[in-house]
Amino acid sequence: MRRPAALVALLGLVAALLAGCSPAPAAAGPHFEVSEEPSRVWEPVHLRLVSLPPGGRVTITANALTGGRWTSRAEYSVPSSGIVDLDHDVPVEAPFTGADGMGLFWSLSSAGGASATSPEQWGGSTVAVDLAATIDGRRVAARRLHRVGLISAAPSRAVSEGDVVGDYFRPVASSPAPRPAVLVFDDTDPGTPTGVLAASTLSAMGYPVLLLSTYGSEDRLDPVRTLPGERAVAALAWLRSQPGVDARRIFVFGTSRGAQLALWAAVAHPELVYGAIAPAGTTGLVCPSPVPGPAVTVGGDWVPCLSGNRDPSPAAVLELNRIPGPVVLGCAGQDEQLETACGWMDAAASVRPPHGGDAYVRAPRATHLFYVPPYTPLYLPPPPAAQATEDARVALWSAIGRALNVRGP
């Protein structure tokens, strides 16, 4: 999801849409009320279907064309008020249980049964979603919604300065005060390109982000997957020096294999790092496998790491009490890549005294990719784990937003 320069031209158009949108004119019969149109893909939208005949049932469908046709459907009983509020009303029949205002969006499924695996389609691009309401097979209301994608909202530029290779995402909206910034470790989870998605989302939320190519430029990737500590230090120094960045509130962000790298950077350099976000990974350094080697080196020397042992214990956890600001961790009980994820999180909680802004998100029924931003079907597992994973995404990203707003010393 690298950003072609021409796409930045979309910013003016999207800004105009966001600034100039207004509610749809009131209709006499059944119609959809929408909290925001267009809305942002990284935020929820609030929907109500009003002026319905009470006492019956209404079926609401959602359709999106993005790399094919994607659909979802939910049926609701209409109360005496004639209003179905998707945030609060429980559907009679749906691919999700309980009240879920964004259920029709994340439960979109393709006609051919394909999984949503394109960050460009389900995060980068703006997607039109057509809503329709039917009663007894007759359409009574329809509305098209636009979910503004991250390519327009979070432009980036390439960075290649010595050890600092990656992409810098500077928020579109300027802030009168310096903002916390985030160093995201990229290329740490082969086959699942979630680093760009996380960096784009954080930038769209208003935070400057450096997406670091953790193991070097693409043509010189380290096959052993070892992080030279000097590369992390250089990236932190570069980020701290950028205009509009609050150098006292620098966060590191890593998921899966990158979680331990983010935590190591925060522990090793508390003078440079304020807080750490590190879900779905170990909280101690584990040597890469199957090729033996260090996870991190400093001056060419190995930083001690666990070899052939993924069992968590307090003794194996990094000294997380050295991190001055918030730490956000998370684990999935059905993690197919790290079965001991919750054990690692519990071990971390046992050695770190409580700090303001800390969050430990436990998702017993979720799967590994619960750290992907919510509200789309991207990388969701099949039901019933889909809903648990989506719920965990909402909880995790809410915790991330809170932690980034915690004031430093």
| pLDDT of 321 above 90 | yes
Phi, psi for residue 262 in degrees, rounded to 5: -65, -45
Select from 259, 203, 264 the least CA-distant residue to 371: 259
According to the model, what pLDDT value does residue 210 have? 98
pTM across the whole model: 0.91
Q: For the domain 25-148, what is the CATH superfamily, name and number? A: Acyl-CoA thioester hydrolase/BAAT N-terminal domain (2.60.40.2240)
Query: What confidence tens digit (pLDDT) does each residue in 108-136 have?
Result: 999 888 999 999 999 999 999 999 999 99
Mean pLDDT of 149-173: 94
| pLDDT of 4 above 50 | no
Q: Report the percentage of the chain scoring pLDDT > 70.
A: 89
Mean pLDDT of 297-318: 89
Largest CA distance in the chain: 73
Q: Where do the domains of the chain lie?
A: 25-148, 154-404
Residues 408 and 246: beta-carbon distance below 8 Å? yes
Residues 286 and 250: beta-carbon distance below 8 Å? no
Domain 154-404 has CATH 3.40.50.1820: yes
Distance from the Cα of residue 316 to its chain's centroid:
28
CA–CA separation, 271 vs 293, rounded Å?
Answer: 28
pLDDT band at 338 (very low <50, low <70, confident <90, very high): very high
Q: pLDDT averaged over the chain? A: 90
Whole-angstrom Cα Rg for the chain: 22
CA–CA separation, 98 vs 89, rounded Å?
Answer: 8
Mean pLDDT of 382-390: 95
According to the model, what pLDDT value does residue 174 have? 76
Collapse the DSSP code of 78 into the 3-class scheme (helix H, G, I; strand E, B; otherwise coil) and give the result. coil
| pLDDT of 219 above 80 | no
- Scanning the structure block, which residue is given the tokens 């790399």? 67
Is there a shared CATH topology between the 25-148 domain and the 154-404 domain? no
Q: In this structure, what token pair is assigned to residue 89? A: 């009303």
